[in-house]
Amino acid sequence: MLKLSRITKSYAGVIVLRDIDLSIPRGRVMVVIGASGSGKSTLIRMANGLILPDRGTVEFMGEQVTAATALALRRRMGYLIQEGGLFPHLTAHDNVALMPSRLGWSLDRIDTRLFELLDLVRLPKAALARYPSQLSGGERQRVALIRALMLDPELLLLDEPLGALDPLIRYELQADLKALFASLGKTVLMVTHDLGEAGFFADEIVLLHQGAIAQQGPMAALLEAPASPYVARFVRAQRGLAGSLVRPPP
C-alpha cells in the first residue's frame, strides 16, 4: 500500500530523516511516535508528497510519489492534522464539500456521501451550518475527519489528530476513531507523541529518534524488549501510560 525506501531528508544541513525504510500493508494501522524533533511530521508529510525526499523513494499503490504525481495521488489519501485545519471563513458543510465540488461532484452525490459520514463519525447535522469558531474542539475534529473521508481514500494520514483536545473529548474520539478504523478497514499512518495512544491504535509502532528508526514492532516489544537504552528511557518517560492503555468508554 505505502512503501518508503531509504528515505533521507535534511534542512540547512541538518538531517531530519535518515535512511527510513517502512512498508504499510493494506488494512493495517501503523503509528509513528517519538520526541519533538524526531522527524514524525516530516515523515507523514512525505507520505503524501507535501515534502519530497532528498534521497530515496515513496511509493503509494505501486506508483512513486513525485512532484508530478503527488497531487493526483493525494486525492486517494485522507489527511487529518491537529485542530483539523479547517478554513475559518467556510461553514463545516462548505469545508467538507470543497474538494468534491472542485472534482465535479453533483450536490446530490456530495450530500449522500456527507450524510453517510455524519452517522459514521457521530456528528449532529446541525453542526454543518456552523463555522469552525462556533464548533467545539471535538466537533472540529469530527468535521475534519469527514473532510478526510469524503473521497473514500485508500489511505488515512493522521498527524497528531487528537493532540490539542482536552482529556475527556480526546478519550471519546480515541474510541470512535478505533471503531471507525475497524469498520472501514482503512490503511492508516498516524503520528502521536503519546505511547499509550499509540498502543491503543497500532498494529505496529515505529519509534523515531534523531530521524532514524530506534525500534519497530508491536507495543509488547517496546515494553518487554527495548532495542536500546534510548527506547527503554523513552518508555519510562511515559510513566504509567504504556502500562495502562486508553480503553474505549463502556
Q: What is the pLDDT of residues 177-219, one digit of tens each?
A: 888 888 888 899 999 888 888 999 999 999 999 999 999 999 9
Check whether residue 55 and residue 161 sit in a common domain.
yes
- Residues 24 and 187 sit within 8 Å (Cβ to Cβ): yes
Check whether residue 225 and residue 105 sit in a common domain.
no
- Report the alpha-carbon distance of residue 12 to residue 99 in Å, rounded: 34
**Is residue 81 in a domain?**
no
- Residues 248 and 181 sit within 8 Å (Cβ to Cβ): no
- Residues 38 and 208 sit within 8 Å (Cβ to Cβ): yes
Q: What is the pLDDT of residues 96-105, one digit of tens each?
A: 999 999 999 9
- Residues 173 and 167 sit within 8 Å (Cβ to Cβ): no
**Is residue 82 in a domain?**
no
**Is residue 37 in a domain?**
yes
In angstroms, the Cα distances linking 55 to 6, 30, 71, 212 are 7, 23, 20, 14
Of 152, 181, 208, the one marking the end of a domain is 152
Check whether residue 145 and residue 25 sit in a common domain.
no
Q: What is the pLDDT of residues 9-45, one digit of tens each?
A: 999 889 999 999 999 999 999 999 998 888 998 999 9
CATH of the domain at 212: 3.40.50.300
**Is residue 190 in a domain?**
yes
- Report the alpha-carbon distance of residue 91 to residue 194 in Å, rounded: 31
Confidence label for 239 from pLDDT (cuts 50, 70 and 90): low
Q: Which domain holds residue 22?
A: 1-76+154-250
236-248 average pLDDT score: 55
111-129 average pLDDT score: 91
Q: Map residue 60 onto helix, strand or coil.
A: strand
Check whether residue 183 and residue 67 sit in a common domain.
yes
Predicted confidence at residue 247, as pLDDT, reads: 44
Check whether residue 160 and residue 244 sit in a common domain.
yes
Predicted confidence at residue 44, as pLDDT, reads: 92
Of 152, 184, 202, the one marking the end of a domain is 152
In angstroms, the Cα distances linking 78 to 113, 144, 196, 245 are 15, 10, 24, 26
Check whether residue 141 and residue 175 sit in a common domain.
no
Confidence label for 164 from pLDDT (cuts 50, 70 and 90): low
Q: What is the pLDDT of residues 46-62, one digit of tens each?
A: 999 999 999 999 999 99
Grid coordinates representing 182 are 475497524
Check whether residue 49 and residue 158 sit in a common domain.
yes
What's the pTM value of the predicted model, to 2 decimals? 0.87
How many domains, the chain?
Answer: 2
Check whether residue 232 and residue 176 sit in a common domain.
yes
Phi and psi torsions of 88, nearest 5°:
-70, -20
Of 97, 130, 152, the one marking the end of a domain is 152
List strands edge to edge, sheet with 29-34: 77-81, 155-159, 187-192, 29-34, 204-209, 212-217
Q: What is the pLDDT of residues 221-236, one digit of tens each?
A: 998 999 999 999 999 8
Predicted confidence at residue 246, as pLDDT, reads: 42
Check whether residue 18 and residue 107 sit in a common domain.
no
Check whether residue 70 and residue 92 sit in a common domain.
no
